[in-house]
Structure 1
Amino acid sequence: MKQSSFVAILFFVALAAGISIYEFVLGNPANFLDYATKGTKHVPANLMGTTYVGGPLVAILITISIMVIAVIIERALSLKKAQGKGPIPKFYKQVIDLVRADQFEEAIAACDKQRGSVANVLKAAISRYKEVTSEKSTVDKEKQLVEVQRAVEETLMLETPLLEKNLIVLSTIASIATMVGLLGTTIGMIRAFKALAQSGAPDAISLATGISEALINTAGGLFAAILGIVSYNFYVNKVDNFTFQIDEANYNLMQLLKLK
């Protein structure tokens, strides 16, 4: 699935979930003291009712939070899959030992068993080396290694985007969450000052509603932004470490093949 399609589907699913949670969970009549008597939702009876008073932007913040959590789960599953079925150091040592013993078929079989990004890169290198060093090949040693390196680079071009997929979504959502929270804060403060500006005694309910809206949206925006930023930095660091492992494994394998 393309990244744009994934984000679009995730957005609409999260939006539907966010609106449903806002209207039917947070807006449940049981969450308000005066709903049954006045037919309105003014006085919250609990935290969920207080959150509902934050206004429609709360639904957007819930949507953003759901998207962040969904992308975090997707990245965690994808990176776990990219690591393969077993510990990378143990797998890498096994492949190096097999290549050193000229057991290329066994090394390729080990890569097929391990799977993951490191295994795919090593398999591409070993398979290409096996092809260019076959009995029918007349390519000299230097050109053989160039062909192997080219196969590795082609595989990396396919693997790297998979590792970095949707990371930009996390950083974008974090920025948007901050702006939406700030917008809700501004709207809430406008309502609060409007209540204070009335002649005579201020409208206490409107004043409290405006302040609640401002604070709730601030908290919601900060929650989604912090979650997105921390997750983005965590996964960027994890991808960098993973890429380093791939480069190190590829470098050591190429050095070994040069000695063949």
Structure 2
Amino acid sequence: MTAEISILGLILEASLLVKMVMLILMGMSVVSWAMIIKRSKVLSQASKQTEVFEDKFWSGVDLAKLYQESNKRKDELSGTEEIFYAGFTEFARLRKSNATSPDFIMEGTGRAMRVAVAREVDELETNLPFLATVGSISPYIGLFGTVWGIMHSFIALGEVKQATLAMVAPGIAEALIATAMGLFAAIPAVMAYNRFSSRVGKLEHNYATFSEEFHSILHRQAMAGRE
């Protein structure tokens, strides 16, 4: 309890600039934790949706029926189902047009799926740059507060005739709190960024693999239709 009161007292007695540094770091930490929680839920949901849809896709269900099911809730699609929907929509559109060349049909279909993959990955990567920024700059912001606090303490120390450790220690301690807060903000952000980047990379690989496999299936259909 004494340590908690002491730390709180040091924060309250810190110079205005050091207080501002602490406030900025506290705000960055709160925002980054909110983003970490939200992004964790989004990525978990994306992984689950991908697994569920791919199980349904490879179960042997008719692709036209699967497309009709997806079309009924096209505004809610995400992940591999969104890629499937984009690819099948473009494939069906080109087959109904005057495009009789299978290569032309598949080129358009592949392009539509690549765009869908890119959009899904962009959505998954939302907030990751902010976490990377917090992880990179928070220690330096905290260090700036520490340097300023120590400099302020030594300036005040120079104004007295007889300096003692008791006079300079509180100023140095409050300055070091800024460094601690910088690390407190940075460490979770860096860990979350690395973890989320890895999960996004795995999902992107799954999306690309599904896109290629679905492209091959549609290509066989296009060739069969020409015959």
- Does the alignment reach a TM-score above 0.5? yes
Partner of 2:195: 234
Give the ranges of 4+ consecutive aligned residues of structure 1 lying more than 6 Å apart after TM superposition. Answer: none
Partner of 1:6: none
Q: CA deviation at 1:138?
A: 4.5
Secondary structure of the structure 1 residue equivalent to 2:27:
helix
Secondary structure of the structure 1 residue equivalent to 2:104:
helix
Partner of 1:40: none
CA distance in 1, matches of 2:67, 2:208: 18
The 3 A distance-change label for structure 1 pair 203 and 46 is: closer
Partner of 1:120: 82
1:150 pairs, out of 90, 103, 111, with: 111
Structure with a larger share of its residues in helix = 2
For residues 138-170 of structure 1, give each alpha carbon's deviation from its aligned partner in whole angstroms, at most 9, with x where no partner exists.
522221111111211232343222122221111
1:175 pairs, out of 118, 133, 136, with: 136
Q: CA deviation at 1:87?
A: 4.7
CA distance in 1, matches of 2:91, 2:121: 22
Please, what is the CA RMSD of the aligned residues? 2.9
Alignment partner of 1:106 is 2:70: no
User: Please, which moves more after superposition, 209-218 or 70-79?
Assistant: 70-79
CA distance in 2, matches of 1:201, 1:178: 30
1:140 pairs, out of 86, 101, 107, with: 101
1:79 pairs, out of 43, 55, 62, with: 43
Q: What are the equivalent positions in structure 2 for 1:41-60 lying under 5 Å apart? A: 45-54=5-14, 55-56=18-19, 57-60=21-24
Tell whether the 8 Å contact from 1:196 to 1:203 is kept in structure 2 after alignment.
no
User: Please, which moves more after superposition, 148-157 or 242-251?
Assistant: 148-157
CA distance in 1, matches of 2:30, 2:70: 39
User: Please, which moves more after superposition, 250-259 or 67-76?
Assistant: 67-76
CA distance in 1, matches of 2:162, 2:10: 27
Q: CA deviation at 1:125?
A: 1.0
- Normalised TM-score (structure 1): 0.71
Q: CA deviation at 1:176?
A: 2.3
For residues 217-249 of structure 1, give each alpha carbon's deviation from its aligned partner in whole angstroms, at most 9, with x where no partner exists.
111011111121111111111111111110011
The 3 A distance-change label for structure 1 pair 65 and 127 is: same
Partner of 1:70: 34
Q: Which amino acid aligns with 2:91?
A: Y
Partner of 2:204: 243
Tell whether the 8 Å contact from 1:195 to 1:203 is kept in structure 2 after alignment.
no
User: Please, which moves more after superposition, 191-200 or 222-231?
Assistant: 191-200
CA distance in 2, matches of 1:150, 1:224: 41
Which structure would you say has the larger RCO, counting Cα contacts within 8 Å and 6 or more residues apart? Answer: 2
Tell whether the 8 Å contact from 2:50 to 2:79 is kept in structure 1 after alignment.
no
For residues 32-68 of structure 1, give each alpha carbon's deviation from its aligned partner in whole angstroms, at most 9, with x where no partner exists.
9xxxxxxxxxx98344334434541221221121121
CA distance in 2, matches of 1:81, 1:149: 26
Unaligned runs of 5+ in 2: 222-227
Percent identical among aligned pairs is 25
